[in-house]
Amino acid sequence: MNLPATRNLERVVIATRRSRLALWQAEHVKQRLAELYPRLDVQLLPLSTRGDELLDARLDKAGGKGLFVKELEAAIDDGRADLAVHSMKDVPVALPEGFVLAAITAREDPRDAFVANQYAALAELPDGATVGTSSLRRAAQIAERRPGLRLRTLRGNLDTRLAKLDRGEYDAVILAAAGLRRLGLAGRIRSLLEVADSLPAAGQGALGIECRARDRALRELIAPLADAATDACVRAERAVNLALGGNCAVPLGAYAELEGARLRLRALVASPDGRRIARADRTGDASRPELLGEQAAQALREQGALEILAQLVAPE
């Protein structure tokens, strides 16, 4: 494939976090671009983000998941990089002015994974067992099903989290299956939490490529990496969050599936202790994913979602 003619693009720099998973994601996009454009020079710019540095603080108390993307956006803004690759579940629903998601790639397994050394499934854990998770969304859904478990905050990159499990600091940890699979660690997964039991975060398992909105040549270059089905699903999921206030760190799950020309969207908002959960299950036209997201959000409002969110001491 020839390079876009609107600009002589010979070199593209990808901003990425330094974690092993983030580097894998950026390298994956680099390889995809190299396959499409063999003459294009694609380089990585690894950066440390505030979210990576705050290893002991809960994200909801430190500023939310947007802490993982701000430094990458700054590198694009000042010209050090042309684009950034993000895990879509970490991308705030409102992008800074002048930025756009130029492509959302095909989704990996969106489910949450149960990882333990002595137990094969969540149901096998005895009351009082310690479960680590970085997400209030996961914690709330686990607490609803297993109120006798001890849920503790688990921070750090994927390797750090697994090391804490192996040192015996936790009896089990809940991680995104997509990250484990991408790093060749699928063997650590003892079982998968089905969507009905642990609704994923909006965008979980999908990668997003962000760049300047005005850079049409770059957007044209990136466009072939987009997956239309994943794009529609993720847009519906993110619309739920946006309609409920736009905080990407609240205990909210949203997952859409394409069924022919229709989208099925399931969403929930939960109190952190799992005692109050509002759920919605809506189906709509796949060509209008944002409308479906708004409809699901309205169904959650009617079940008290805003009251649940208002009772949080701090947004997730």
In this structure, what token pair is assigned to residue 7?
Answer: 């600009």
CA-CA distance, 171 to 190, in Å (whole number)? 13
CA-CA distance, 140 to 145, in Å (whole number)? 9
Domain ranges (residues) in the chain: 11-106+206-226, 112-193, 236-309
pLDDT for res 249: 66
Q: How deeply is 86 buried, as exposed, middle or buried, from its count of CB atoms within 10 A (0-12, 13-18, 19+)?
A: buried
Bridge partner residues of 41 (DSSP): 11
Report whether 204 contacts 137 (CB < 8 A): no
- Look up tokens 């996009």; give the residue: 29
CATH of 11-106+206-226, one of 3.40.50.300, 3.90.1530.10, 3.40.190.10, 3.40.1010.10: 3.40.190.10
Report whether 250 contacts 139 (CB < 8 A): no
Bridge partner residues of 208 (DSSP): 86, 104
pLDDT for res 312: 76
Question: Do the domains spanning 11-106+206-226 and 236-309 agree at the CATH topology level?
Answer: no
CA-CA distance, 118 to 271, in Å (whole number)? 29
The residues, ordered by sequence, that sit 6+ positions from 277 with a Cβ below 8 Å of its Cβ are 140, 141, 144, 268, 269, 270, 271
Please report, as a single letter, which amino acid is at residue 59.
Answer: L
Write down the CATH superfamily of domain 112-193.
Answer: Periplasmic binding protein-like II (3.40.190.10)
**Tens digits of per-residue pLDDT, 30-80?**
999 999 999 999 999 999 865 454 445 444 444 445 567 999 999 999 999
pLDDT for res 310: 87
**Tens digits of per-residue pLDDT, 186-196?**
999 999 999 99
Whether 90 is a known active-site residue: answer: yes
Report whether 308 contacts 300 (CB < 8 A): no
pLDDT for res 200: 97
Q: Name the residue among 232, 264, 247 with its Cα closest to residue 201.
A: 247
Q: Which CATH class is domain 236-309?
A: alpha beta
Report whether 101 contacts 209 (CB < 8 A): yes
pLDDT for res 134: 87
The whole-number mean pLDDT for each consecutive block of 10 residues of the chain, a chain of 316 residues, reads 56 96 97 96 88 49 62 95 95 94 97 98 97 94 96 93 97 97 97 96 97 96 97 97 81 95 96 94 97 98 93 55
Given 52, 60, 82, 90, which residue is catalytic? 90
pLDDT for res 50: 58
Scored b (16 or more CB within 10 A) or e, 131-168 reads bbbbbbbbbbbbbbebeebebebbbbbbeebbebbeee
- pTM comes to 0.89
CA-CA distance, 273 to 250, in Å (whole number)? 13
Phi, psi of 114 (to 5 degrees): -95, 120
- CA dihedral sign of residues 215, 203, 231, 221: positive
